[in-house]
Amino acid sequence: MKIVVLGLNHKTAPVEIRQKLAFDAAETTRALSELKSRFPNAEFTLLSTCNRVELYSAGEGVGPADLTEFISEFRNAKIEKFREFLYAYEDADAVRHLLAVASSLDSMVVGEVQIIGQVKESYRLACAAKTTGKVLNRLFHMAFATSKKVYTTTSISSGRVSIPGVAVELAAQLFADMRSAKVLVIGAGEMGRLIVRHLLDLGARDITVVNRSIERGRELAEPYGIKLKKWEDLDELLIQANIAIASAATQDYIFTKDSFKKITRRRKKDMLLIIDIAVPMNFEPAINDFEDVYLYSVDDLSQVVEQNRRARKRDIAKGMQIVSDNVAEFMDWFGARDVGPMIGKMKEQFAQIGRNELERFFVGAREDASCKDVMEAMVNRVVNKLLHCVIHNVNIVAKESGPTEAARLLDTIVRRAEEISSEYDSDKKNN
């Protein structure tokens, strides 16, 4: 059995590629069901965020090529269009990757707290789709425990460490007077809520929220005492705004370059800063071509992100040590998970060889010998003593070379014992 992760993220693929391959919740459920139908003996989870799309599998006969082909078919995208952006890890490397992801050590903004919620949601969807099993269940719970330990034993999450936080920090760097800035927040989900909180922290006072669902927009606006407008007012709001930060969930652009042209014509010559952290993006990248309009995507936050990473260098090292320790613990379990059943198989095969030899001996005139019961007891004792010696040596191998090597040794012994039993059956047929 292999554990495999295939994916792409903010480090390997531009936002244009990530948004084409992104999955919403309904698509995630459908994709998992299709994978399970195609590979019924394997386990699957799918993690899709604004910064990454990753497929995790555990089972026989499922490799990176199979997962690549599946994404290509599901997304109706030619493999050649995204192959160069992919990465694939197996076994310990795959485990290390998930634990680092869940602990935000692989995030664009190291220390962000949103990623663990996203990992938990991906696992919840997989459980609901019944595509997890013994291996991925244990792996994801190990990821949750690792994340908790990293957050509680390091200061990695101190300061502004979320994508919304970095977006607002960038706005503050580019627009000196946040108190007088007219800020438009597009989208009232969790990202929108974090954006509003960070804006208020930095002194912004003229904040307007707009959301497709006016009720959800009200749930965000009222507790913070900020303005709420209807979705139909979006054009007028952009005409008046100094800063727009967008995180609305959409499949297509809210504004293309052509549709945004009428807004630029009605604006004064003031600068409009647009920070689009949505994936897929809310604003077509070509909008950045307009004079006095400055559009930043998630990928453009790299400078602030790098400052964040340098400030947390020591915490990152400490976090990665926690990850490494937990990878070793998981791989010990993963390597040993088959040892118990294989020892059972070995005992069964040794006992069968003993029965075969007794049957071979007690034939003809010896078939009803009075010593038969005594001989059976003696053979069983010999078999058990030999088993004790073998199991003792398997334990030594497990301690010195790891459970995976012990499992390989047991597999070799079981296979040879099966061959000996088969030889007896073959001799019996021939005679």
Q: How far apart are the first and last CA of the chain?
A: 40
Distance CA 151, CA 141 (A): 16
Q: What is the pLDDT of residue 431?
A: 61
Which residues are registered as beta bridge partners of 183?
207, 243
Residue 390 to residues 162, 220, 387, 397, 414: CA-CA distances in angstroms?
Answer: 54, 66, 5, 11, 11
Residue 387 to residues 406, 413, 423: CA-CA distances in angstroms?
Answer: 15, 11, 21
Distance CA 387, CA 384 (A): 5
Any catalytic annotation for residue 127? no
Q: Is the pLDDT of residue 267 over 60?
A: yes
Percent of the chain with pLDDT over 90: 54
Percent of the chain with pLDDT over 70: 97
Domains by residue range for the chain, with CATH = 2-159+313-335 (3.30.460.30), 163-308 (3.40.50.720), 338-421 (no CATH)
E strands, 129-251, in order: 182-186, 206-210, 227-229, 243-246
In this structure, what token pair is assigned to residue 116?
């663990």
Between vectors from CA 120 to CA 281 and to CA 166, what angle results, nearest 5°?
40
The residue that leads in pLDDT, 303 or 207, is 207
Distance CA 289, CA 222 (A): 36
Q: Is 107 left (phi over 0), alpha (psi -120 to 50) or beta?
A: beta
Return the amino acid letter for 222. Answer: E
Distance CA 208, CA 210 (A): 7
Of 302, 2, 38, 261, the residue nearest 136 (C-alpha):
2
Q: Is the pLDDT of residue 93 over 70?
A: yes
Task: Using pLDDT thresholds of 50, 70 and 90, give the confidence band for residue 427.
Answer: low
In this structure, what token pair is assigned to residue 214?
């006016």
Distance CA 18, CA 28 (A): 15
Q: What is the pLDDT of residue 261?
A: 94
For the stretch 211-238, pLDDT in tens is 999 999 999 999 999 999 999 999 999 9
**Could you give the 3-state DSSP secondary structure of residue 430?**
helix
In this structure, what token pair is assigned to residue 184?
């438009």
Q: Is the pLDDT of residue 74 over 90?
A: yes
Q: What is the mean pLDDT of residues 48-73?
A: 94
In this structure, what token pair is assigned to residue 60?
């026989």
Question: What sign does the CA torsion over 132, 138, 140, 141 have?
Answer: positive
What is the model's pTM?
0.66
Q: Is the pLDDT of residue 374 over 90?
A: no
Determine how many CB atoms are found less than 10 A away from the CB of residue 431: 6
Instruction: Give the chain's length.
Output: 431
Strands 243-246 and 227-229: unpaired
Write down the catalytic residue from 50, 127, 371, 389.
50
ω into residue 280 within 30 of 0, thus cis?
A: yes
Task: Using pLDDT thresholds of 50, 70 and 90, give the confidence band for residue 255.
Answer: very high
Q: What is the mean pLDDT of residues 317-321?
A: 93
Q: Is the pLDDT of residue 160 over 60?
A: no
Tally the C-alpha atoms within 13 A of residue 189's C-alpha that lie toward its C-beta. 13
Tally the C-alpha atoms within 13 A of residue 225's C-alpha that lie toward its C-beta. 3
Task: Using pLDDT thresholds of 50, 70 and 90, give the confidence band for residue 82.
Answer: very high
